[in-house]
């Protein structure tokens, strides 16, 4: 009889673990949603980025709200400052009047290009590129040049701007989860 009870108990535990796994996956996907997948994949490929990274930036910047406007004036999914958008669009060969940062396609295209440009500038260093995306490339260059941020250790905790420090940490955490939860094309 004990053997039969053990088998039933084991099967119940396995069933519970499977149920929790599927519910956990669902729960995590509500925390880390994925929208605009086609644009994310298209422009990530075009500009040589990991689409999971782009999705992570969008999640942290706007939680996939294309109408989001920050108190500093950053607009859209990837929270792009209008002046940055005009500069980036010029580099991309896009006329200024074609820039609509509330349009998901345009916002993801410009934001992905800009993030790619920062990764090139900072030689693939994700921490520095994300810090520059949030805190400004000039500020990051100054931190590095003045020794305010140790490039060798790259500890996010040492980023001088508190908002930027937390932005980098949140994007990296989201990046981990997007890679675990989704299979992008």
- Catalytic residue (one of 61, 97, 121, 142): 61
114 and 88 Cβ atoms separated by less than 8 Å: yes
The structure tokens listed for 134 are 């949030």
pLDDT at 156: 83
With a cut of 50, which residues of the chain have pLDDT below it? none
pLDDT at 6: 82
pLDDT at 182: 95
pLDDT at 20: 65
pLDDT at 3: 79
| Residue 121 is a catalytic residue | no
What pLDDT, in 10s, does the model give residues 21-64? 667 788 889 999 999 999 999 999 999 999 999 999 999 999 99
pLDDT at 81: 97
pLDDT at 157: 83
Residue matched to tokens 């989860």 = 177
Residue matched to tokens 């440009």 = 117
Q: What is the DSSP letter of 1?
A: -
Question: Residue 19 is inside which H or E element, if any?
Answer: helix 2-31
Distance CA 113, CA 108 (A): 8
């Amino acid at each position: 009889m004990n053997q039969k009870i053990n088998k039933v108990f084991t099967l119940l535990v396995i069933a519970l673990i499977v149920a929790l796994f599927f519910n956990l996956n669902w729960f995590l996907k509500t925390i880390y949603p994925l929208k605009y997948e086609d644009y994310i994949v298209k422009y990530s490929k075009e500009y040589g980025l990991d689409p999971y990274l782009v999705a992570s930036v969008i999640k942290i910047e706007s939680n996939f709200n294309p109408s989001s406007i920050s108190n500093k004036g950053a607009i859209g999914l990837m929270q792009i400052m209008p002046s940055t958008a005009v500069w980036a669009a010029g580099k991309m060969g896009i006329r200024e009047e074609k820039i609509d940062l509330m349009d998901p396609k345009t916002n993801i295209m410009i934001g992905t290009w800009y993030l790619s440009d920062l990764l090139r500038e900072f030689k693939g260093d994700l921490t520095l590129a994300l810090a520059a995306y949030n805190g400004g490339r000039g500020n990051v260059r100054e931190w590095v040049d003045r020794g305010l941020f140790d490039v060798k250790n790259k500890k996010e905790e040492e980023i001088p701007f508190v908002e930027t420090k937390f932005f980098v940490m949140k994007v990296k955490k989201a990046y981990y989860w997007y890679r675990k939860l989704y299979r992008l094309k």
